[in-house]
């Protein structure tokens, strides 16, 4: 999963990650509690907490400036192109994702609002050309 390109992975098998987390949480809950199982359960819990944020990072409505802001929030290298972003890059940034969850939600809301505005302007232009 980690080596999958994000732009491809987000469309085809994105939900596998959530299913993977749930499956392994269930397996570990029945195991003896030791340092390793506690660490793994904690990590899987963080992944589950980040799941709604990962879904927001699909970037369907993102323009270049939105990706740039997301990279900043997640502390990803600025020179990494969106086309080369891997699912593992997002997973590796989960702690930053959880810290910046409000900023990510605001960024996604802004991007969606801008899409609505662009579509309305486009429709207005078409209407003006036809009248």
pLDDT confidence of 118, banded at 50, 70, 90?
Answer: confident
Higher pLDDT, 29 or 98: 98
Q: How many domains does the chain have?
A: 1
Report the alpha-carbon distance of residue 65 to residue 57 in Å, rounded: 14
Domain containing residue 85: 6-130
59: closest CA among 81, 79, 77?
Answer: 81
CA dihedral 109, 61, 53, 95 (to 10 degrees): -100
58: closest CA among 108, 2, 116, 101?
Answer: 108
* 112 assigned to some structural domain: yes
Return the number of other C-beta atoms located less than 10 Å from residue 63's C-beta. 12
* 1 assigned to some structural domain: no
* 86 assigned to some structural domain: yes
Average pLDDT score over the chain: 89
Report the alpha-carbon distance of residue 11 to residue 60 in Å, rounded: 10
pLDDT tens-place string over residues 8-41: 777 776 688 888 888 988 888 888 888 998 999 9
pLDDT over 90 (residue 92): yes
């Amino acid at each position: 999963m980690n080596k999958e390109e994000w732009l491809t992975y987000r469309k085809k098998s994105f939900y596998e990650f959530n299913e993977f987390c749930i499956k392994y949480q269930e397996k570990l809950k029945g195991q003896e509690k030791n340092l390793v199982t506690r660490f793994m359960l904690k990590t899987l819990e963080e992944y589950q907490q980040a799941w709604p944020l990962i879904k927001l990072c699909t970037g369907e409505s993102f323009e270049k400036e939105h990706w740039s802001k997301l990279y900043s929030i997640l502390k990803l290298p600025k020179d990494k192109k969106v086309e080369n972003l891997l699912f593992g890059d997002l997973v590796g940034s989960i702690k930053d994702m959880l810290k910046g969850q409000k900023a990510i939600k605001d960024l996604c809301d802004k991007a969606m609002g801008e899409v609505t505005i662009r579509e309305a302007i486009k429709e207005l232009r078409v209407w003006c050309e036809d009248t």
